């Protein structure tokens, strides 16, 4: 049933001119309106990323009405946006003259004409408040009035008149026919034509606003809308951070003739996190912007629910940190040691800096504290601890370097491995490990209580004996339950469980082929000096953090630093989960990435191709004396397949013994993208000349 309002509430000031699309054009992809071109041919971003950007304030497209009719649909059913050339748009800004106004009960349709075409703009203003109904005096004899047979009932005509007076007043249009207005709204298709869901309409008082609008749109067509290169999402500006998204009910926009004002009350102020406030590198802005926006972030470990704290979640977080770890900072501070990174008590520093200068350069408390590992190295202990072995000074498994280009060798030298000691000193991973251990212990205690309850219900006679044996009272008077009936004191310390959790995670990541052994340099351990916040500021870009989460992570890091420097007895260190010294010849690991495998896969393709060519030449030489009918013809040797490359790498080097087919496939895709290898057909690969 059509939405036809009453005649007395409808004021049609002129005939609406609507540009309809012919059915033949809607099916052709070359037409101005009906064509749908996939987003992959216009931009390197996905449809979801482009749609998410189109909701921001900077995505408002200033254009003509003709451009709205000529826009092409995105081709995605889930993400509704359009393409104006190679520029995606969802919200447009138009300026023209009103040639028609239709007032309905809940909406007003304006017909806008800017000289290029006409379009209908549907505006749903906020309805005026309903006038309050006349209040009737309350009577205390309400029950008696109902039971009074001599009381005259109210007439239905009076009730109808009273009901009719409660209808809201008709909507008032923003402007009359002939007024110049600016419309900002979302583009949508209805009844085979384009319309605007107007969120903001204002009347333009200056007469030269229309000329400015035309000049601005012509410049945008020449510099932005008519470009042939793929679209790249621009970097977020300050206005985007002030108001992140543009909803359907548009926010108040300042007039172009007026100077920009502060955002309205409806805009949400987004706190500036280190990830959004960090500047983008100026050397390659397009690549850095794409990497910053496509980089995935996980929830901060302090915000995870208890049901998500398990071994699988911890393995995902460790792999995420190894893939997106902050780069190693090479500071030129003469007080920083490149071996153990503990500069205030380190013996590897230059002799020109005295102990007094080191002590004055850091805010170290002067009150006497307990002896720690760091203090003993300063006082000249007889058995100093070796820290250099864990940072690449001693190779665990020497291997012959593979054949690779000098550029790849320089990239490999910039790569640093992750040791178990380094991962245990990351504040977020250490916090997640402690929470995982506590959650697992809590689940185990809950299961023990359920088992004890079931056993007591099954054997009621021996329940008192089981409870008296399995629930000894401690010093505080609280009872503890043992898992097997024999209480084992305070149980295993949390620090040992956390270390075992890290070891099991590294082993599982190695077995599934996500990481491999690394014989190069390892990452230096995070600085443990008092008040150091460098590790937190660098790793905050990996997590979805808020202001409260950031402050919590800072407090956790400061507590970790002070606890590690303060030292104490060995039993207290084990119970508090404090870290031990770095072992000798500690193995390092690196995550498996296409960049890491590209050089090795290229060398494998070269070796397998040369081997196949030698075998074919040997077969030709052995068949020289055979008849011409049985002599094999000289054919081009095809390249190896992905499975053959995997077998070659697994047999050639023990480091790639657990490598998977998916990793080799990603490396081949990178080589093909860089023009170093190509698929000749049937899954066989050859190197490009």
Higher pLDDT, 277 or 543: 543
Quick one: tokens of 370?
A: 């307990």
Report which of 68, 124, 77 is spatially closest to residue 96, judged by C-alpha positions: 68
Evaluate if residue 11 carries a pLDDT over 90. Answer: no
**Strand bridging mode 87-89 / 180-190:** unpaired
Phi, psi angles (nearest 5°) of residue 32: -75, -20
According to DSSP, the β-strands at 108-113 and 543-544 are unpaired
536 lies in the same domain as 549: yes
State residue 501's pLDDT score.
92
- The dihedrals phi and psi of 502, each to the nearest 5 degrees, come to -65, -40
Provide the token pair at 169. 């007043």
Q: Specify the range with the lowest mean pLDDT, choosing from 25-29, 87-91, 230-234, 426-430.
A: 25-29
pLDDT of the residue at 689: 74
d(CA 358, CA 334): 10
CATH number at residue 667: 1.10.10
pLDDT at residue 624 in the model: 57
Write down the pLDDT at residue 27: 40
> What is the mean pLDDT of the segment spanning 669-687?
88
Has residue 134 been placed in a domain? no
Assess if residue 324 is contained within a domain: yes
Give the pLDDT band (50/70/90) at residue 489: very low
Q: What is the pLDDT of residue 169?
A: 74
Distance CA 213, CA 203 (A): 14
Contact 119, 109 (CB under 8 A): no
Task: Tell me, yes or no, whether 53 and 186 share the same domain.
Answer: yes
Average pLDDT over residues 642-646: 90
* 485 Cβ contact partners less than 8 Å away, ≥ 6 residues apart: 466, 469, 470
Q: Are 200 and 85 within one domain?
A: yes
Q: So what's the pLDDT on residue 82?
A: 87
Q: Is residue 506 part of a domain?
A: yes
The pLDDT of 620-634, averaged and rounded, is: 58
Count of beta carbons in the 10 Å neighbourhood of residue 289:
17
Question: How high is the pLDDT of residue 68?
Answer: 92
Domain boundary among the residues 566, 590, 614 is at 590
Rounded Cα distance between 101 and 12, Å, is: 6
* pTM for this entry: 0.44
Check whether residue 545 and residue 605 sit in a common domain.
no
Instruction: With beta carbons less than 8 A apart as the criterion, state whether 342 and 529 touch.
Output: yes
- Helix 594-622, helix 661-673: angle, nearest 10: 90
Q: Are residues 168 and 313 in the same domain?
A: no
Query: Strand order in 418-419's β-sheet?
Result: 418-419, 588-591, 515-518
**pLDDT tens-place string over residues 650-659:** 888 888 888 8
610 and 639 share one domain: yes
pLDDT at 109: 93
Instruction: Report whether 192 contacts 171 (CB < 8 A).
Output: no
Sequential DSSP letters for 289-340:
HHHHHH---EEPGGG--GGG-SHHHHHHHHHHHHHSPPPPP----TTS-TTT
Answer whether residue 496 shows pLDDT above 60.
Answer: yes
Residues 84 and 191 in one domain: yes
Same domain, 574 and 608: no
The answer, yes or no, to whether residue 354 has pLDDT greater than 70, is no
Which of 540, 564, 590 terminates a domain? The answer is: 590
> For the chain, how far is it from start to end, CA to CA, in angstroms?
69
Q: How far is Cα 588 from Cα 271, in angstroms, rounded to an integer?
A: 38
pLDDT digits (tens, 9 = 90+) for 368-400: 444 444 343 343 434 444 434 333 433 344 444
Name the residue with tokens 């004021």: 11
Residues 159-210: tens digit of each pLDDT:
555 555 555 677 888 888 999 999 999 998 888 889 999 988 999 887 788 8
Distance from C-alpha of 127 to C-alpha of 144, rounded to nearest angstrom: 41
In a domain, 145, yes or no: no
Q: pLDDT tens digit string along 581-611?
A: 777 778 899 999 989 989 999 999 989 988 8
Tell me if 60 is assigned to some domain. Answer: yes
3-state secondary structure of 111: strand
Q: Which of residues 215, 242, 269 is at a domain's end? A: 242
> Residue 348: pLDDT above 50?
no
Confidence band of 156 (pLDDT split at 50, 70, 90) = low
The reply to whether 214 and 75 lie within a common domain is: yes
> What pLDDT is stored for residue 415 in this prediction?
82
The domain that holds 117 is classified in CATH as: 2.40.50.140
Residue span of the structural domain in which 116 resides: 7-127+162-242
341 inside domain: yes
Residues 361 and 233 in one domain: no
pLDDT in tens, 440-483: 999 989 999 999 888 888 766 554 544 444 444 443 444 444 44
Residue 45 has pLDDT above 90, yes or no: no
Task: Please state the rounded mean pLDDT for residues 54-66.
Answer: 89
Residue 183 lies in a domain: yes
Residues 522 and 596 both lie in one domain: no
Using N-to-C axis directions, what is the helix angle for 594-622 and 406-414, rounded to 10°?
Answer: 140
Give the whole-angstrom CA distance, residue 326 versus residue 295: 13
Query: Has residue 473 been placed in a domain?
Result: no
Task: Flag whether pLDDT at 336 surpasses 50.
Answer: no
Indicate the number of domains in the chain: 3
Q: How far apart are CA 344 and CA 361, in angstroms?
A: 9
pLDDT tens-digit readout, 405-429: 555 555 555 788 889 888 888 888 9
The reply to whether 98 and 79 lie within a common domain is: yes
Q: How sure is the predictor about 20, in pLDDT bands with cuts at 50, 70 and 90? A: low
Q: How confident is the model at residue 84 (pLDDT cuts 50, 70, 90)?
A: confident
Instruction: Convert the pLDDT of each residue in 297-308 to its tens digit.
Output: 888 888 888 888
At residue 659, the pLDDT reads 87
The pLDDT score that the predictor gives to residue 303 is 86
d(CA 389, CA 468): 52
Sheet holding 87-89, edge to edge: 72-73, 82-84, 87-89
Q: Please provide residue 188's backbone torsions phi and psi, each rounded to the nearest 5 degrees.
A: -150, 160
Residue 228 has pLDDT above 60, yes or no: yes
pLDDT of 52 reads 85
The residue-averaged pLDDT of 358-375 equals: 42
């Amino acid at each position: 049933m059509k939405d036809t309002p009453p005649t007395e509430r409808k004021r049609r000031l002129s005939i609406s001119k609507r540009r309809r699309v012919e059915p033949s054009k809607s099916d052709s992809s070359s037409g101005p309106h009906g064509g749908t071109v996939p987003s992959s041919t216009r931009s390197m971003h996905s449809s979801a990323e482009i749609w998410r950007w189109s909701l921001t304030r900077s995505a408002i497209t200033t254009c003509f009405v003709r451009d709205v009719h000529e826009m092409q649909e995105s081709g995605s059913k889930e993400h509704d946006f359009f393409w104006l050339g190679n520029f995606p748009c969802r919200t447009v800004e138009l300026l023209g003259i009103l040639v028609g106004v239709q007032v309905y009960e809940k909406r007003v349709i304006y017909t806008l004409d800017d000289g290029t075409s006409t379009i209908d703009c549907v505006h749903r203003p906020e309805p005026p408040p309903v006038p309050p109904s006349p209040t009737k005096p309350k009577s205390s004899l309400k029950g008696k009035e109902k039971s009074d047979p001599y009381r005259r009932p109210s007439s239905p005509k009076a009730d109808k008149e009273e009901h009719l007076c409660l209808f809201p007043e008709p909507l008032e249009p923003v402007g009359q026919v002939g007024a110049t207005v600016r419309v900002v709204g979302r583009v949508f298709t209805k009844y085979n034509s384009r319309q605007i869901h107007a969120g903001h309409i204002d009347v333009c008082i200056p007469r030269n606003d229309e000329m400015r609008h035309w000049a601005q749109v012509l410049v945008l067509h020449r510099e932005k809308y008519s470009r042939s290169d793929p679209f790249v999402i621009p970097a977020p500006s300050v206005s985007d951070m002030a108001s992140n998204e543009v909803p359907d009910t548009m926010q108040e926009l300042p007039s172009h003739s007026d100077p920009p004002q502060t955002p309205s009350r409806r805009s949400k102020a987004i706190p500036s996190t280190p990830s959004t406030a960090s500047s983008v590198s100026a050397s390659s802005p397009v690549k850095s912007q794409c990497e910053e926006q496509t980089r995935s972030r996980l929830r901060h470990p302090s915000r995870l629910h208890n049901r998500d704290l398990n071994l699988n979640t911890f393995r995902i977080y460790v792999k995420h940190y190894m893939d997106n770890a902050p780069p190693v900072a090479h500071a030129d501070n003469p007080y920083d040691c490149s071996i153990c990174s503990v500069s205030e008590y380190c013996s590897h520093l230059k002799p020109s800096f005295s102990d007094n200068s080191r002590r004055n350069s850091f805010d170290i408390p002067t009150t006497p504290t307990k002896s720690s590992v760091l203090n003993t190295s300063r006082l000249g202990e007889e058995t100093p601890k070796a820290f250099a072995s864990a940072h690449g000074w001693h190779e665990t498994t020497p291997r012959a370097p593979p054949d690779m280009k000098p550029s790849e060798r320089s990239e490999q030298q910039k790569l640093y491995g992750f040791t178990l000691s380094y991962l245990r000193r990351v504040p977020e991973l250490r916090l997640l490990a402690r929470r995982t251990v506590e959650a697992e212990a809590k689940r185990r205690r809950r299961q023990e209580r359920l088992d004890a309850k079931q056993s007591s219900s099954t054997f009621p006679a021996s329940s008192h004996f089981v409870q008296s044996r399995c629930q000894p009272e401690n010093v505080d008077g609280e009872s503890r339950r043992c898992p097997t009936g024999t209480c084992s004191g305070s149980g295993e310390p949390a620090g040992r469980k956390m270390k075992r959790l890290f070891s099991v995670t590294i082993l599982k990541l190695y077995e599934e082929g996500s990481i491999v052994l690394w014989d190069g340099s390892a990452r230096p351990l995070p600085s443990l000096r008092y008040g150091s916040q460098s590790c937190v500021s660098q790793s905050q870009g990996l997590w979805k953090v808020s202001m409260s989460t950031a402050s919590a992570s800072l407090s956790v890091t400061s507590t970790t630093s002070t606890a590690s420097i303060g030292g104490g007895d060995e039993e207290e260190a084990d119970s508090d989960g404090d870290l031990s010294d770095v072992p000798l010849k500690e193995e390092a690991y690196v995550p498996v990435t296409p960049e890491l495998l590209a050089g090795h896969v290229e060398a494998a393709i070269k070796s397998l191709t040369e081997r196949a060519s030698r075998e074919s030449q040997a077969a030709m030489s052995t068949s020289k004396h055979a008849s011409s009918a049985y002599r094999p013809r000289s054919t081009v040797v095809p390249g190896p397949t992905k499975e053959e490359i995997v077998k070659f790498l697994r047999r050639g080097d023990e480091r790639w013994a657990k490598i998977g087919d998916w990793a080799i496939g990603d490396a081949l895709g990178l080589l093909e993208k860089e023009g170093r290898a190509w698929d000749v057909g049937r899954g066989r690969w050859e190197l490009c000349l």
